[in-house]
Amino acid sequence: MKNAVGREIPAHISGISNTRLYEGTSAYTPAHTGAGKKLRAGKPHTDKILKSIDEAIEKTGLKNGQTISFHHHLRNGDYVMKMVMECIAAKGIKDITIASSSLSPCHDFLIDYIRDGTVTALESSGLRGQLGKYLTKNPGALKKPTIIRSHGGRARAIEAGELHIDTAFMAAPTCDRQGNATGRIGKSAFGSMGYAMIDAAYADKVVLITDNLVNDPVYPYSIPQTQVDYIVPVEAIGDPEGIASGAIRITKSPTQLLIAEYAAEVMDETGVLKDGFSMQMGSGGASLAAAKFIREKMEDQNITGSFGIGGITGIFADMLKDGLFKACYDAQTFDTTAVKSLSENPNHIEISASFYANPWNAGPIVNDLDVVILSATEVDLDFNVNVITDSNGICMGASGGHSDTAAGAALTIIVVPLIRGRLPMIRNHVQNVVTPGDDVDVIITERGLAINPKRTDLIEKLKDSKLPIMKIEDLQQLAYAFVGKPEEIKLSDDDRDIVAVVEYRDGSILDVIRKPLV
Amino acid sequence: MIKVLKKTAQAGFEEKNDLIVEVSPLQAESGIIIELQSPVKNQYGSHIETLIKDTVAAEGFSDVQVNVSDKGAWDYTIKARIIAALERGMA
């Protein structure tokens, strides 16, 4: 059956109980009650601190077939998932579902545990590295397709009871002996614990793994002791090199800078740039570079914004410090400058993934965004955006907050080069849809901009603009004139070759990722 | 008049949007044999092979082994590198 973005979805996907198809960005309204929290009764004066991860696995009673979760705040420096999986495998526990808020190349070791049956299912924001390649080429390696969710979609699925976590193993850069934990300090500090907050609040059992156990009470805490069953001190939870990059700098690429300049100009000419405006910038080169031009315009025109959301980088933290914005909401802190800002600047506010983007609460902050600037791996003539598979159909990215912010923002700008290497980035149909075109307003390339024809208001506002505004079909033809029209990748139409199911943020099925036949 | 390559020769660089072309003489009647490695082979493989064949033929050669290691070069670069390699092979 075809869903509302024109994707052919099988009526039943083996191993996936969800059959609700995507019907539109706000087509579905929930009318049920969400998940409850399993009750526990902590005894007075009991010690939560255990000697080893092995002991924690014993105490939680982890069994074959259960679901465990991790957060990805340690990004590509994470040691915790590997430490936990080594213990689980050594105990001979099989058929585990890993529900991590995302996966990085440091998790390529999972291939071995998938091969030996320790891990049989994955739920994640993304699939990257060798693991992404392996699963794309061997969809049968897991007992069911990987479920891909946005950050808001994952928070929603947990709170709604669609993703039930038996045990959450949460890396904590600092925690006290009661389990009050923070990511702001410690040798492995990574900033906000936004993703971890949801797991800690809803998992049946919560184990904190820390490399900085302190005796004094930790405050402010991101995870409260009321949610923590056990604490395991370890030597190191991650590699600082992989956790947070040094200060992220603005790109020097002339193409990226031109795209960024156009993005700032669109914001200016459509009247978004005004006192009290709010924004989010994605983590790509051009979207971050837009900050440079936005800042110039804000300073020239004496504009003070209301708030920013992130994915916070030092680039935004500096704008906050310099008074260009009143506050920023942070679910994930990207670099060392931003980690410092979260610790020191009271206007830098830590939020959970649910506060950030869960479509099924009364008000995620993305709903109040005036503008978001996002990258893409490719876009299409219907303005759909792919950020999960590359041009050869291999899983190499993550859904992240892309569809969440695009849905919430009044103006969604996609920045993407017209051509990468030799490949035109405006396709007839994207390989996979992560963000539906209905949520995308303007696509900006270095050769020109296209406005979604549904946004007649924007077309009107920009009708006298000097910006190189074109029809998206003409932009595509421009790329073809340079590099020729690419041949389409052939995909398997066998339903056993479904690698992953891409859920829209409301849990409906937006797309399936099929194995490429190459 | 059919040209015959004198020796193996190379042109190009291992850079993004560039390619390394290596041409070698083959015995008469062997034809133009192409070995193509490219990150865009799925999208442009047959187009690039036709371009290589046409360029080599237009330069007047008929028996050449062409090994190409491409990194997403555009047509004009591919053409220029092939012509350069062939000229070097005649020096």
User: Which residues of chain A form CATH 3.40.1080.10?
Assistant: 53-243, 254-490
Q: Return the pLDDT at A282.
A: 86
- What residues of B are in contact with residue A518 (Cβ under 8 Å)? 42
Q: Is the peptide bond preceding residue A220 cis, with omega within 30 degrees of 0?
A: yes
* Whether A106 contacts A77, CB under 8 Å: yes
**CATH number of the structural domain A53-243:** 3.40.1080.10
DSSP A122-187: EEESB--HHHHHHHHH-GGGSSSPEEE--HHHHHHHHHHTSS--SEEEEEESEEETT--EESSSST
Q: Is the pLDDT assigned to residue A124 strictly greater than 90?
A: yes
- What residues of B are in contact with residue A481 (Cβ under 8 Å)? none
Residue-level length of chain A: 518
Cβ separation B39–A483 shorter than 8 A: no
For A38: left if phi > 0, alpha if psi spans -120 to 50, otherwise beta; the answer is beta
State the pTM of this model: 0.96
Domain ranges in chain B are 9-90
Count of CB pairs separated by less than 8 Å, A with B: 39
Confidence of residue A354 (pLDDT cuts 50, 70, 90): very high
What percentage of chain A has pLDDT greater than the value 70? 100
Q: What is the pLDDT of residues B42-86, one digit of tens each?
A: 999 999 999 999 999 999 999 999 999 999 999 999 999 999 999
Confidence of residue A404 (pLDDT cuts 50, 70, 90): very high
* Whether A362 contacts A156, CB under 8 Å: no
Q: Return the pLDDT at A104.
A: 95
Q: What is the pLDDT of residues A147-196, one digit of tens each?
A: 999 999 999 999 999 999 999 999 999 999 999 999 999 999 999 999 99
Q: CA–CA separation, B69 vs B12, rounded Å?
A: 10
Q: CA–CA separation, A372 vs A385, rounded Å?
A: 14
Cβ separation B17–A392 shorter than 8 A: no
| ipTM score | 0.94
Q: Is the pLDDT assigned to residue A493 strictly greater than 90?
A: yes
> Hey, CA dihedral for A120, A122, A128, A132, is it positive or negative?
positive
Contacts of A237 (CB under 8 A, 6+ apart): A74, A78, A79, A80, A171, A172, A173, A188, A209, A210, A211
- What residues of B are in contact with residue A489 (Cβ under 8 Å)? 42-43
What is the rounded average pLDDT of the residues A50-67? 98
Give the H/E segment covering residue A53: helix A53-60
- Probe site for chain A from B37, B42, B79 (most A CB atoms < 10 A): B42
Q: What is the pLDDT of residues A305-350, one digit of tens each?
A: 999 998 999 999 999 999 999 999 999 999 999 999 999 999 999 9
What is the rounded average pLDDT of the residues A17-30? 94
Q: Is the pLDDT assigned to residue A284 strictly greater than 90?
A: no
Nearest to residue A231, comparing CAs of A84, A48, A40? A48
Compute, in degrees rounded to 10, the torsion defined by CA atoms A28, A31, A33, A34.
0
What is the rounded average pLDDT of the residues A363-387? 98
Residue with tokens 């679910």: A331
* Whether A166 contacts A66, CB under 8 Å: yes
Q: What share of chain A is helix, strand, coil (3-state, %, to 5)?
A: 30, 25, 45
Q: Return the pLDDT at A6.
A: 96
Q: What share of chain B is helix, strand, coil (3-state, %, to 5)?
A: 35, 30, 35
CB of B16 within 8 Å of a chain A CB? The answer is yes
Q: Return the pLDDT at A14.
A: 94
CA–CA distances in Å: residue A154 to residues A246, A355, B4: 28, 12, 65
**CATH number of the structural domain A254-490:** 3.40.1080.10
Confidence of residue A412 (pLDDT cuts 50, 70, 90): very high
**A interface toward B at CB cutoff 8 Å?**
391-392, 421-423, 482-484, 486-487, 489, 518
Cβ separation B74–A423 shorter than 8 A: no
Alpha helices (runs of H) in A450-506, residue ranges in sequence order: 456-461, 472-483
Contacts of A139 (CB under 8 A, 6+ apart): A145, A496, A497, A498, A499, A515
Q: Return the pLDDT at A249.
A: 81
Q: CA–CA separation, A255 vs A314, rounded Å?
A: 22
What is the rounded average pLDDT of the residues A461-473? 97
Q: Is the pLDDT assigned to residue A248 strictly greater than 80?
A: no
Smallest Cβ–Cβ distance between B74 and the set A483, A487, A489 belongs to A483
What is the rounded average pLDDT of the residues A46-58? 98
Q: Return the pLDDT at A388.
A: 97
CATH fold, domain B9-90, is Ribosomal Protein S5; domain 2 (3.30.230)
Contact residues, B window 38-77, toward A, CB-based 8 Å cutoff: 39-40, 42-47, 71-75
Q: Return the pLDDT at A105.
A: 95
Q: Return the pLDDT at B83.
A: 98
Name the more confident of A518 and A322.
Answer: A322
Confidence of residue A298 (pLDDT cuts 50, 70, 90): very high
Structure tokens at B31: 């034809």
CA–CA distances in Å: residue A399 to residues A140, A150, A389, A442: 22, 5, 10, 19
- Chain B nearest-CA residue for A487: B43
- Probe site for chain B from A396, A418, A420, A422 (most B CB atoms < 10 A): A422
Nearest to residue B34, comparing CAs of B12, B64, B77, B62? B64
Q: Is the pLDDT assigned to residue A245 strictly greater than 80?
A: no
